[in-house]
Structure 1
Amino acid sequence: MMKASKSISPFRLSSLLRNQKDPALALQLFQNPNPDSNPQPQKPFRYSLISYDIIISKLGRAKMFDQMEQILGQMKQQTHLSPPEIIFCNVMSYYGRARLPDRALHLFDEMPSFGCQRTIKSFNSLLDALFKCGKIEKMREVLEGIEDYGTPDACTYNILIKACEGEELDDARNVFDEMRSKGVEPTDVTLVTLIYKLCSVDRVKEALELKEECERVHGVMANAFVYASLMKGLCGIGEMTLAFELKDEMVRKNIRFDAAVYSTLISVLFKAGRRGEVSGLLKEMSEYGCKPNTVTYNAMIHGYCKEKDFEAAYGVLDEMVKEGCRPNAITYNVIIVALCKEGKWSEANLFFQDLPRRGCHPDMLSYRMLFSGLCDCGQFKEAAFILDEMIYKAYAPHYARTHKLVEGLCEEGNMELLGIVLSSLEKANVLDEDTWRVIISTLRKEKPSDVFELIDTLTIQ
């Protein structure tokens, strides 16, 4: 007689769940941990909080929200369990990333029925979920009841600062001032958020003063992201000397460099016509053990293309591949658009056709750029071919360039190709009234009889 297999314990279940990568299989295991382990009737499986936490996290990350809510409902029935607040904070975070504000609000309201007290921690999770969903007015509404859950902390203020956009940037400074007046110390997140926002609207001097204040008064030291934002902002207003001084300050403070800092400076050197200094920065990167990434190489390729030095740009592309750094669509698109701007449409087209061999599949932007370039160069036959490929891949062309192609074919009197192009546009549902106006107005001037011939051709097709 075969011995029954050993039953899985609650502790063993949590270990198995943690190791199961597939959330659907993890859910199946959770729902039936001991299939056919014992022919005798068994007591209900006594799940642990750890098991609930693991399966809820797996389902939430996989956006399997209906299944996750079933598990939450099951946990609610386990009266012997007292779920910690962090479980609900995590679930609200999943809802926020999935743009499901109503579910986050509902869960927050339901927390007491689980036997879990709501504090400022779960309130912050709700606030952040609403921010991620763009529900700024709802954030203001729920803020009115914040006293019921505790005193606002640094996390609360950081979320409110992040929510201030565009013209509301002064409100972000007001939130920062209130934060300090309430005795809440700013964090590195506070500094990063405010610096980035100020630099994005060219208030760089104010950002520098804020950095100094946070370091001197609050002991919050700037990190690499803060320096990168400041350097980019300084370069944007032409203060290159100050930007490089900040880089030297990072060296003195032993702040670990990342490729973003160097990529920013490389872009600026090219814009200022100081490409000769780029090699020095690359050497410095190597000395600090900071490897160039795709953004770094793209900055160099863009710089060389702006200078119309395509041989150097191709050289960087080859070096990039040699160093094991995979080019992306942006890498290739920069070269394509630069070639088209210089009227090198044939080279751009050949480069585009070679992308699959290079391990890159052209995206919609790649097609649009080449299509626009070919139209601008008057290469309407090649443009029509690219348009056909675009429509086959469900990529919508720009109307302005479509009109240019149609107008060009009309002026050339190429009725056969024009008929094919219009048929393709119609199939893609992008043949509009404006296109017909272009055709009729152009042909009336050139060859009035061709209007009727074209209509007959399209009717037959």
Structure 2
Amino acid sequence: MYIQYSTSVPTRSLRRRISNRKKSITKPIPNESKFQDTISKLPPRFTPEELSDAITLEEDLFLCFHLFNWASQQPRFNHGNCSYHIAIRKLGTAKMYTEMDDIVNQVLSVRHIGNETLYNSIIVYFTKVGKLIRVVNIFRHMVTSKNLECRPTIRTYHILFKALLGRGNNSYTSHMYMETVRPLFRQMVDSGFEPDVFALNCLVKGYNVLSLHVNDALRIFHQMSVVYDCEPNSFTYDYLIHGLCAQGMTISARELLSEMKGKGLVPNGKSYNSLVNAFALSGEIDDAVKCLWEMIENGRVVDFISYRTLVDESCRKGKYDEATRLLAMLREKQLVDRDSYDKLVNVLHKDL
């Protein structure tokens, strides 16, 4: 008998079904004796709090899931927020998202169960695995829930902002996610929540660093103290300086740097590296060198790209002696290793 096999590449859905089938076959079987021992320690009419304590103490995560399901089948027992929460936390931490999803569905099916803390934890774990559609559905459930304890708080919006802005891997994708963040921010304000520095920094980062909309970021920055009664912090300035340098707006970046230092704030390594590169590329070699040494004095780490850009642009401007002295000082102060030093010397010789 002749059997013809398909030579086409399996579809994504087929590969997922095969993977799920393998996982179900290889799913571990709970240790029955250990399971019975855990059950025996529970009182006859145990409460959700007592079940939560038992799940907390249990190190076998699959046994925790089995214990939770066993308790669900017991007569006259109903899970509470605490037992749902600890089970979701343990399974989410262990990345057992399929089992966690089963428990989340149980939470959503019971109207009187749930609170803001529980749903925030669910959102956190779903964002880690990239299930943003599931996150949005959970958030909508919180907004429309008749249980006031389930309504979103400022913490919920923080989690959503961070999740959405962490998804973009290029400026176009980040811009598309910003189109979701903006109405979400307006909804937060319309719900009566005063934007804090974290929420406003998320907008600044989204506009400036990720989607490269510098003017929108500066608008939020100037509104922080005037409109929202919220003072910018070091993260605000770092996001803005990095974005301005990426656009070659060194004058504005220098003004923000001066304002930042006037408030006693120190830029992070990313901001300093951005400044060194931007100054060097715009021909402001002396400012770039000054910024480099200031960065080192403040204990920030200089990356190799900044060193290379500064040496390369110094040579382009004909400042070979300055570049040579800079390399000598870097070697003398042991700020670069042997391999990096040799690469920088090659850059210098190539431009001679």
Q: State the TM-score, normalized to the length of structure 1.
A: 0.49
What is the identity, as a one-letter code, of the residue corresponding to 1:285? Answer: M
What is the identity, as a one-letter code, of the residue corresponding to 1:366? Answer: V
Q: Could you say if the C-alpha distance between residues 273 and 408 of structure 1 is closer, same or farther in structure 2, counting changes exceeding 3 Å?
A: closer
Q: Could you say if the C-alpha distance between residues 183 and 120 of structure 1 is closer, same or farther in structure 2, counting changes exceeding 3 Å?
A: farther
More relative contact order, 1 or 2 (CA 8 Å, 6+ apart): 2
Residue 299 of structure 2 is aligned to residue 362 of structure 1: yes
CA contact (8 A) 1:215 1:221 kept: yes
CA deviations on 1:4-61 (whole Å, 9 max, x unpaired) are xxxxxxxxxxxxxxxxxxxxxxxxxxxxxxxxxxxxxxxxxxxxxxxxxxxxxxxxxx
The match for 1:37 is none
Q: 1:159 aligns with which of 85, 89, 95?
A: 89
**1:203, CA displacement in angstroms?**
4.2
**1:253, CA displacement in angstroms?**
1.1
Task: Name the CA distance, whole Å, in 2 between partners of 1:387 and 1:221.
Answer: 59
CA deviations on 1:84-122 (whole Å, 9 max, x unpaired) are xxxxxxxxxxxxxxxxxxxxxxxxx9xx9xxxxx94454
The match for 2:4 is none
Residue 195 of structure 2 is aligned to residue 267 of structure 1: no
The match for 1:299 is 239
Task: Name the CA distance, whole Å, in 1 between partners of 2:220 and 2:130.
Answer: 25
The match for 1:177 is 105
What is the identity, as a one-letter code, of the residue corresponding to 1:382? Answer: L
Q: How many residues align?
A: 277
CA contact (8 A) 1:371 1:387 kept: no
Q: 1:188 aligns with which of 108, 116, 133?
A: 116
**1:139, CA displacement in angstroms?**
3.7
Task: Name the CA distance, whole Å, in 2 between partners of 1:339 and 1:197.
Answer: 41
Q: 1:389 aligns with which of 333, 336, 339?
A: 333
The match for 1:255 is 193
Task: Name the CA distance, whole Å, in 1 between partners of 2:205 and 2:136.
Answer: 21
- Which runs of no fewer than 5 residues in structure 2 stay unpaired? 1-37, 42-48, 72-76, 316-322
1:59-458 correspondence to structure 2 within 5 Å? 119-120=50-51, 122-123=53-54, 126=57, 138-140=60-62, 153-165=83-95, 169-180=97-108, 185-199=113-127, 203-217=131-145, 219=148, 220-234=150-164, 236=168, 237=173, 238-270=176-208, 271-286=210-225, 287-339=227-279, 346-355=286-295, 361-363=298-300, 365-366=301-302, 368=304, 370-374=306-310, 379=323, 382-390=326-334, 397=337, 401-402=340-341, 404-405=343-344, 407-408=346-347
**Structure number, greater radius of gyration:** 1
**1:285, CA displacement in angstroms?**
2.4
Q: Could you say if the C-alpha distance between residues 296 and 336 of structure 1 is closer, same or farther in structure 2, counting changes exceeding 3 Å?
A: same
Sequence identity, in percent?
17
Q: State the TM-score, normalized to the length of structure 2.
A: 0.61
Task: Name the CA distance, whole Å, in 1 between partners of 2:247 and 2:257.
Answer: 16
